[in-house]
Amino acid sequence: MTQTPPNAETFKTQLPQIIDLFTLDITPILPPSSSDQSIYRFANWSQVNGQDIVYKGDTYTALPLESSGFELNTSGQLARPTLTFANVGLGITALTNTYDDLVGSTVKRIRTLTTYLDGEPGADPNAFWGPDEWIVEQKSSENKLSVAFQLAIPFDLEGRALPGRRLLREQCQWIYKSDIGCGYSGSPFFDANDQPVSFPEQDVCGKRLTSCKLRFGNTSRLPFGGFPGLTDSVG
């Protein structure tokens, strides 16, 4: 027997549930003169029964997603959470292709109760946990169904971020072929795994030091935007 999913009224009358709300901010990786959309907000589809919701005046699009590794640990190692988006309409792929896998973007998570959402009798814009702030360190996997990102926590000391710029050891932060930083405009071409390809549309930078050397040469001065001398990524 097929069950009918709960409608909006059913959702509103359920007991309060904790929901995770995510904001993806690509402003840090956009060119200064860009007019592209820079803020994207998502709510976990399963937590809001597939409905877009509004909190603090902002609309969060319901999207199937999975998050893991956000919990604090006592091991002494920095957390490396994973955030996986359903690739609905290949929308996330479009963003990664346009903005170099979104590396350097900011992800913020807040948690609140369904009863505090805008339009609810108990609506409260000040009732939430967080925000927790993370940096997209790398795209860890991608296919037609989903795209996963590994996140890193900005290094923080008594509320002061040190340094002001995010430093990644193994990931170049420049936008591929942009005039700022990278500057590559020729051939040969390689895919994201540093394998030779024949056509410009197949050319994808792997964001590694080896990717840079393949394009500019081992003996050339490299515009690599990472910091290979670091013992760990900090920011």
pLDDT at 20: 93
pTM for the predicted model, two decimal places: 0.60
Total H helices, total E strands in the chain: 3, 13
Q: Is 192 helix (H, G, I), strand (E, B) or coil?
A: coil
Q: Which amino acid is at 81?
A: P
pLDDT at 170: 67
Q: Where are the alpha helices (DSSP H) in the chain?
A: 8-13, 91-98, 209-216
pLDDT at 164: 41
Q: Give pLDDT tens digits for 182-231.
A: 888 888 899 888 899 988 888 888 888 888 889 888 888 888 877 665 55
CA-CA distance, 184 to 204, in Å (whole number)?
12
Strand order in the sheet with 129-142: 53-55, 58-63, 39-44, 18-25, 106-113, 129-142, 146-152, 82-86, 65-68
Name 94's Cβ contacts closer than 8 Å, sequence gap at least 6. Answer: none
pLDDT at 182: 80
CA torsion sign, 132 to 169 to 142 to 68? negative
- Six-digit token pair at 29? 């990786």
Please check whether residue 92 is in contact with residue 14, taking contact to mean a CB–CB distance below 8 angstroms.
no
CA 76 to the chain's CA centroid: 24
- DSSP letters, 14-57, are SPP-EEEEEEEE-GGGS-TT--S--EEEEEEGGGTTT--EEETT
pLDDT at 75: 53
pLDDT at 227: 65
CB atoms within 10 A of CB 77: 8
Q: Along the 235 residues of the chain, how does pLDDT read in single tens digits?
A: 444 444 445 444 456 788 999 999 999 888 877 788 889 999 999 999 999 999 999 999 999 999 888 765 555 556 678 999 998 888 888 889 888 899 889 999 999 999 999 999 999 999 998 888 888 988 999 988 999 999 987 754 334 443 444 555 567 777 788 766 688 888 889 988 889 998 888 888 888 888 888 988 888 888 887 766 555 544 4
CA torsion sign, 72 to 63 to 191 to 186? negative
